[in-house]
Structure 1
Amino acid sequence: MRKALLLAVSAAALTLPAIAAAPPFDTPAPVAYLKDLSSGAILYAKDADRRIPPASMAKMMTTHLAFHLIKKGEIKLDQMCQVRPETWQQWHGPQAGSTMFLSPGEQVSVQNLLHGIVTLSGNDASVVLAECIAGTEPAFAALMNQEAKRLGMTNSNFGNSNGWPDEGVTYTTARDLARLAEATIEETPDLYKAFYQQESFTWGKTMGSGQAITQGNRNPLLGKVQGADGLKTGHTEEAGYGFTGSALQNGRRLVMVVAGLTSFNQRIDESVKFMNWGFRAWKGQPLLKRNEKIGTAQVQLGDESEVGLVAPRDIAVTLPAGLMTGNMRVKVVYNGPVKAPIQAGQHIADLVVETGDTQPQVMPLVAEKAVGEAGFFGRLWAGLTGLFA
């Protein structure tokens, strides 16, 4: 049963806007989405569930999957991958789009291929890494789809590793792209930091003079928005110009997606404007400290009848900037009673905050401590009480 408890949080937490109207914003992007990861608030959504071709934004999944495998110890950054001549033949030259300028038969480390994917958007680097990890690109695409399912990207499918047009096999949505970005940032923060904010990368040599080739990161936010540190642009004739980006300012991290823009410069202008609006038109209001208890959840067949619910991190609510103070509505929601055993820190409930006409903000709550299973007599008693309830 889905249970909801209205909570009377501290007086300090209640000094918030009573009527929180969403600040106005407009963009020519046909698809746009902006989320505050610090609170879970959706600040803007425009056709966010429309299926779109991701173009090179699909490489975010290739990178995320590689990060995930590195974290699990299944591949290593210094592992060497060979550029198959057949792969080079397909993915070099003007007809192959963005390239890392790999050479046939070349041995390249996973680390350098990731730089080639993230910073240079190399189609060749994506396919070489996919083949190195899974043997073939189709096998790697199957892994991409498994990971998308794990992340809850319910409206996405990947047919290749680099987002190259494939007659509609590869598709996603702005909401799913933001979920992918969020997972990369939160699950592999060290790798995210190491790769996504690099401004340029040098690989390959020019024909003739043999001069080293340095290419810049296409991220339109880098150097233009404070705290910008990711993620990935995309462009094909079919998809238009798109971008999934993130920035961190004063403890607030935002993730944005725009898609379907008409030019390189429009993508820069709209991305910067969108992210700046997210930081300037909205503010974060502290709500709970890490490990602060806010309520309890009933426990089924446990050695205790209830367990405390605490914040797994500092939690803030996101509100329109510059409003007068008032009240808000806070509730805890969980599927209960929660069946034992329960681990300390296990996500078992959500804190839902409603403020005026903005969308509800949902933040995780975890178990304050472990709760074991009830013994024989405890289970017997629970069965009898349930029978006569």
Structure 2
Amino acid sequence: MSSRNATASWSGYAHQGKIGLLVALRQMKSVNFQNLGQYRLELETREDVKLAHGTTILEVHQVKAYASKSTIGSYTSALAAFEACPGANYLHTICEITNWADLTPAQNPYNVLRYPYRATQSFCSLNDIDNLIVDEIKTVLTSLNHAEAANAGWCLGCFQEYLALLDERIRIEHATKDQADYNVGFTLDEIQAFIVTPSAKRHAKICAIRRELYREYLNFINLLDDNGITITKEHETTVSDLIRQICLLNDNQLESFLCKLFPATTHGKSLGNCELTHDFFVPDDFSSTFLLTVIQIHTVPLILEDDTFPHYKTEKNFLATALAKREIKKGEAAIGILTNDKLNVERYETDYIINEHLSGKLCEIANKQIPRTGTFMDEKELEFITREDAVNKLN
């Protein structure tokens, strides 16, 4: 398996988008919130982040998310090729560069500066950037005399709403354009609007899950690398394309997909009405059960029927899930699935539900709690099959 950068395209866009928001918030304050519609923040049109006033480029920012690159040698090629503007040019890093003072004019021909996150800090970790942005939102709302300026939940919701909008725009660009034509951006009055108005909770939740899903995929692939587990380049591409397809689902499709992925906990529920999202997405279960299934089964392709139903189809049909409930809870899992009207296994003629630990016919497991009704689910005798058994059967 090939080595990978710290951030791939989707998560890279998300981190760049966070940097962009921080830059935008500070610009809004610096112009005293005047004529914000004339200012525009853009991603990937010039370096990673560009701030413009009309046709005048004010700032250009290059974002590097190298987790272990703490010396200038890792950045000199980027500095030499920097797309500088007449205004301010900045480099962003997630760790300290210990020998920046040794940089020569030849190595930094455009006099690129390290971005000042705080008065004495010129780097910001992936974990710290979120807190810094929420604090900046509080400062902006205070400047606007907003009633919710001291409300930490409101400020976090504003940040999540921005990430949801960013995610939506990235998704649309990726689905409809070639990479060279991507154009993800906001005017500063747009950014002010979602800071001062309530957030759309369902949309923000779904987009947060979409980001977490992709991040979990990246982390899991890196874990395979670290543990010496190999996967062919062709199959790695297949898995990557599947994750991309899932990430590009619209909100309704993604919620429907999650109902199949977590079939035992989503019956009678909607993301819009749930305070928490763990019934629809558990990162560890997604990676250790669903992702591992997809990676280990390399002979039969996984099909997303109707874009939302993850199936392996042979002489039998296997629903791939992230279900990881233990044996002691298999009755609860069986009941949850048999009563889940969002699952619709009849339409897809499902025979087996791939999961981490459980085996057996669902109706036999649940028959003490649910009477047999003579429905399709009863007659079909839908069965649990463990991931390990499914891998052996399908490869």
- Normalising TM by the smaller chain, what interval? under 0.3
Instruction: Give TM-score, length-normalised by structure 2.
Output: 0.27
Highest relative contact order (Cα 8 Å, sep 6+), 1 or 2? 1
Instruction: Give TM-score, length-normalised by structure 1.
Output: 0.27
More helix by share: 2
